[in-house]
Amino acid sequence: MGGGVWRLGRAVVAAVLVVLGCAAAEAKQCGGGVACACGDSVGGAATLEADLVGCATGLRVRSDAVLDCGGHALLADPLDAAEGIVVEGTAATVRNCVVAGFRTGIRVRGGGGNAIEDNAVVDSGRYGIELAVQSTGNRIAGNLVADSGDEGVHVGTGADDNAILGNEIVGSRRENLYLLDVTGCTVEDNVLRGGGAAAIYVKHASRNVFVGNEVFDRPIQLRGASDDNLFTGNRLDGVGFLLQAYRDAELGWKAPRRNRVHGGSVQGTATCFRFDGASYNVADDVGSSDCKAMAQKQSGGLSPVGNRVALVQAP
């Protein structure tokens, strides 16, 4: 959607609504020549011809539908806004949309094989983009996700085999990208900066691949039963990796095991890798010029054993 962070304050939206006197129309199916309005369901192909302003709910996108906003915006009702775009089903596409001010900007709910591409999702109250109800095999690519109230992109329990590619995820109040209890996801060529907690947070998630991401300001953090993940060619600036034991109500204390970090670099931080109760993790050929290779400590009664870190001199 272009550079920079697109913003529109809730007070400004409220003023626009007063001027326009927007009122919710009865929901219908749009697309195929029928113009879309707030609350409609998209079937077939739909292209927005103007912004949709003051939506308590935005649009629902059904299986095989294509929503192309053409750069137009869905702007939330500042007093009552739930979800901007909800994708329900399979093989749907959402692209070129600006989605602003909703509790969740874009929610992919169940199904799979959907494409969420080249959107700008900003000022969400909770999540920017959410993959929920075990939605699998989706492609989340080329989006700007900025200033989310909780997490930028949330990949929820059972949402396996999703691809998070080439997004810019910035300024989330908590985590920029959160993977929870998922496997088989690919996270590649994203830029993550300015989060409140972790840039990438991996909890009870295993056998995922992270390639060529640029990470600033906040660490890559693995917690609990997060095993056999692969990180290759990622570049961290001002932060490092934290692999940490976690006490789960059902599982008890668990810590990351057998994760591998290959190549890439860690710069501008005191310690490249911290292992808190985590064991048998390996980092090799990681470039760094100014950090201690690793620090280890016991956590939750778990002792860190078998961890290895091999750094190479970075320019």
Q: Decide: helix, strand or coil at residue 183.
A: strand
Q: Decide: helix, strand or coil at residue 224.
A: coil
> Does residue 3 lie within any of the structural domains?
no
Beta carbons of 27 and 52 less than 8 angstroms apart:
no
68: buried, middle or exposed (CB in 10 Å: 19+, 13-18, 0-12)? middle
Give the CATH number for residue 121: 2.160.20
Instruction: Summarize the confidence of residues 4-21 as an average pLDDT.
Output: 40
Q: Which residues contact 12 (CB under 8 A, 6 or more apart)?
A: none
Q: Which residues contact 122 (CB under 8 A, 6 or more apart)?
A: 5, 6, 7, 8, 98, 99, 100, 101, 105, 128, 144, 145, 146, 147
- Selected residue with higher pLDDT from 264 and 4: 264
197: buried, middle or exposed (CB in 10 Å: 19+, 13-18, 0-12)? middle
Confidence of residue 106 (pLDDT cuts 50, 70, 90): very high
Look at residue 16 in the predicted model and tell me its pLDDT. 40
Residue in this structure with the two tokens 């629902």, named with its chain if needed: 60
> Does residue 5 lie within any of the structural domains?
no
- Which residue range forms the structural domain that includes residue 294? 10-313
Confidence of residue 193 (pLDDT cuts 50, 70, 90): very high
Instruction: Summarize the confidence of residues 286-304 as an average pLDDT.
Output: 95
> Does residue 215 lie within any of the structural domains?
yes
pLDDT at 241 over 50: yes
Residues facing 95 on adjacent strands: 68, 117
Residues facing 52 on adjacent strands: 74
Q: In angstroms, rounded to a whole number, what is the distance separating the alpha carbons of residues 99 and 83? A: 10
Look at residue 269 in the predicted model and tell me its pLDDT. 96
In the chain, alpha helices (H): 10-20
> Does residue 143 lie within any of the structural domains?
yes
Q: How far is CA 298 from CA 66, 226, 271, 303, in A?
A: 51, 17, 17, 5
Q: Would residue 113 be called left, alpha or beta, if left means φ above 0 and alpha means ψ between -120 and 50 degrees?
A: left
End-to-end CA distance of the chain: give it in Å, rounded.
33
Beta carbons of 77 and 103 less than 8 angstroms apart:
no
Q: What percent of the chain has pLDDT over 90?
A: 87
Q: Which residues contact 21 (CB under 8 A, 6 or more apart)?
A: none
Residues facing 75 on adjacent strands: 53, 100
Q: What percent of the chain has pLDDT over 70?
A: 92
Look at residue 18 in the predicted model and tell me its pLDDT. 37
Instruction: Summarize the confidence of residues 7-20 as an average pLDDT.
Output: 40
> Does residue 184 lie within any of the structural domains?
yes
Q: Please give the tally of structural domains in the chain.
A: 1
The tens digit of pLDDT for each residue in 82-97 reads 999 999 999 999 999 9
The tens digit of pLDDT for each residue in 44-82 reads 999 999 999 999 999 999 999 999 999 999 999 988 789
Q: Which residues contact 234 (CB under 8 A, 6 or more apart)?
A: 210, 211, 212, 213, 214, 215, 220, 261, 264
Look at residue 79 in the predicted model and tell me its pLDDT. 83
> Does residue 139 lie within any of the structural domains?
yes
Q: In angstroms, rounded to a whole number, what is the distance separating the alpha carbons of residues 166 and 139? A: 11
Look at residue 167 in the predicted model and tell me its pLDDT. 98
Look at residue 22 in the predicted model and tell me its pLDDT. 41
pLDDT, mean over the chain: 92
Look at residue 25 in the predicted model and tell me its pLDDT. 56
Look at residue 6 in the predicted model and tell me its pLDDT. 42
> Does residue 4 lie within any of the structural domains?
no
> Does residue 1 lie within any of the structural domains?
no
